[in-house]
Structure 1
Amino acid sequence: MRVRNEAEPEPVPERHPAAAPVDDNAQSTETTVLQQMGGVAGFVHSTIPVVVFVTANAFLPLPVAVGVAVATGLALCIVRLVRGERLVSAVGSLLGVAVAAGIVAWTGSARDFFVIGIWASLAGFVVTFGSVLARRPLTGVIWNALHGGTHAWRSDRGVRVAHDVATLTAASVFASRFVIQQWLYLADSTGGLGVARVVMGTPLTVLAALVVVWSFRRSTGRLIPRAPRPGTSPRDERSGRARA
């Protein structure tokens, strides 16, 4: 029997790469998509200035309605910052209202309050649908970038189909918004544009976001191995998944 010299260092246990725990960011990314977009509350807050503008425009002169909408957007921005929400989301919503109000002040037409959102929807459709035609659905590109950009996600048929579905869902939302709101814009229906903005805003955005979260989770489950639970070996984990 070999006697270890006390001066020799303690042997370091060998670590196997397969047993390394998965990065916490990889596990939580798909559950924070809505939060990064401002959350459901952020979507609701973005529609309040629209409702205020349409309502004020029905009873007040256009310049006053524009001022009320901007003041509402500023108040909401302050409230969101006080509540600790992300600066980009809060200020971004205020900037959108301010730019829309500036266009209305320049053109003198109330319907132009919605023109940025209408053409942004068209741009969103072109980007999302074009990425599917190019066989690089946008949600898959984003998922891969958020997880280090090293995964062969396009080689996994289940993952690729999931991202095709998610990206096409987003493209459908953008397309429906553009078609309906552009039709209302040409009809000079400011009230109809306000209703369409609210109805097709938060509900459709949340629906699309949920499909994106599903595609993210499917990608993570298929491409990123789970770390074994304490007290179990990787073989036990594999056998447990096989039984399931």
Structure 2
Amino acid sequence: MTMTDTNRNTKPGTTGADETPTGPVTEVEPPPSILDQMGGPMGFVYSTIPVVVFVAANAFLSLPMTIGVSIAVALGLTGFRLLQGERFGTAVGGLAGVVVAAGLVAWTGSAKDFFVIGIWVSLAGFLATAGSLLARRPLTGVVWNLVHGGKHAWRADRPTLRAHDVATGAAALVLGARFGIQQWLYLADSTGGLAVAKVATGTPLTVLAALVVIWAFRRSTKRLVRQA
């Protein structure tokens, strides 16, 4: 074989000896973490400001003015987050939550209803997660299996099933505690207490529960996908 034939049979971007790639290597960016998906470290601050503003304004202004101030602050925060390069869905999602809550307050005429949607969402989440545990089909395991094609017998693997029992239990505990505390304060007509409870049981507990869920997902992938 001539040198010309050797060059012809050599793949582009490789050497003739060992065909080791010599071209530029494209680095794959790691997927965003759960904290990044929630808006990063500042996401907690952004989700807290409209709540604090609403309660503070309600102490000094009429309810219509309070609603206007809270929406104006939410709009300003959304614009600032977009200018900072934050994801559109994350930034606008916070605004949508404030607008819906403020609309409910305007409809009922009660300031405490600013928190009612979050309270009932927590109850629905608790019923879903706790119910899946009672049915021996923990919700995080169902979601993990769907993400991976729905073809894994994850409930037959006891360590995997236990991991999802723990993860789903952690989610149920957070959601149940959030509902119980805020519903009690709602019935007590404590708008200020609801604001404190929303902040305390919001992002911090959500991140802790999400970390447990991520652990269960990784454990399941290691046992059922990578070993296979």
What TM-score results when the alignment is normalised by the length of structure 1?
A: 0.76
The 5 Å alignment of 1:88-99 reads: 88-99=89-100
Task: Determine the structure 1 residue equivalent to 2:23.
Answer: none
Can you give the 5+ residue segments of structure 1 that lack an aligned partner in the other structure? Answer: 1-5, 11-24, 228-244
2-side partners of 1:37 and 1:140: how far apart?
22
CA contact (8 A) 2:34 2:207 kept: no
Task: Determine the structure 2 residue equivalent to 1:81.
Answer: 82
1-side partners of 2:187 and 2:121: how far apart?
17
1:55 Cα deviation after fit: 1.3
Aligned AA for 2:140?
T
Listed one character per residue, the Cα deviations across residues 209-243 of structure 1 (whole Å, up to 9, x for unaligned) are: 1111111121122122279xxxxxxxxxxxxxxxx
Task: Determine the structure 1 residue equivalent to 2:14.
Answer: none
Moved more, 59-68 or 78-87: 78-87
Aligned AA for 1:63?
P
Partner SS state of residue 152, structure 2: coil
CA spacing shift, 1:144–1:40, aligned 2, 3 Å: farther
Q: Percent identity?
A: 67
Answer yes or no: is 1:133 the counterpart of 2:134.
Answer: yes
1:57 Cα deviation after fit: 1.2
Aligned AA for 2:156?
S
Answer yes or no: is 1:188 the counterpart of 2:192.
Answer: no
CA spacing shift, 1:39–1:144, aligned 2, 3 Å: farther
CA spacing shift, 1:32–1:128, aligned 2, 3 Å: same
1:35 Cα deviation after fit: 3.4
1-side partners of 2:126 and 2:46: how far apart?
24
Q: Which has the higher contact order (CA 8 A, sep 6+)?
A: 1
Task: Determine the structure 1 residue equivalent to 2:66.
Answer: 65
Answer yes or no: is 1:221 the counterpart of 2:212.
Answer: no
Moved more, 116-125 or 62-71: 62-71
1:86 Cα deviation after fit: 2.5
Task: Determine the structure 1 residue equivalent to 2:13.
Answer: none
Can you give the 5+ residue segments of structure 2 that lack an aligned partner in the other structure? Answer: 10-27
CA spacing shift, 1:34–1:138, aligned 2, 3 Å: farther
2-side partners of 1:155 and 1:226: how far apart?
15
Task: Determine the structure 1 residue equivalent to 2:161.
Answer: 160
1-side partners of 2:152 and 2:33: how far apart?
20
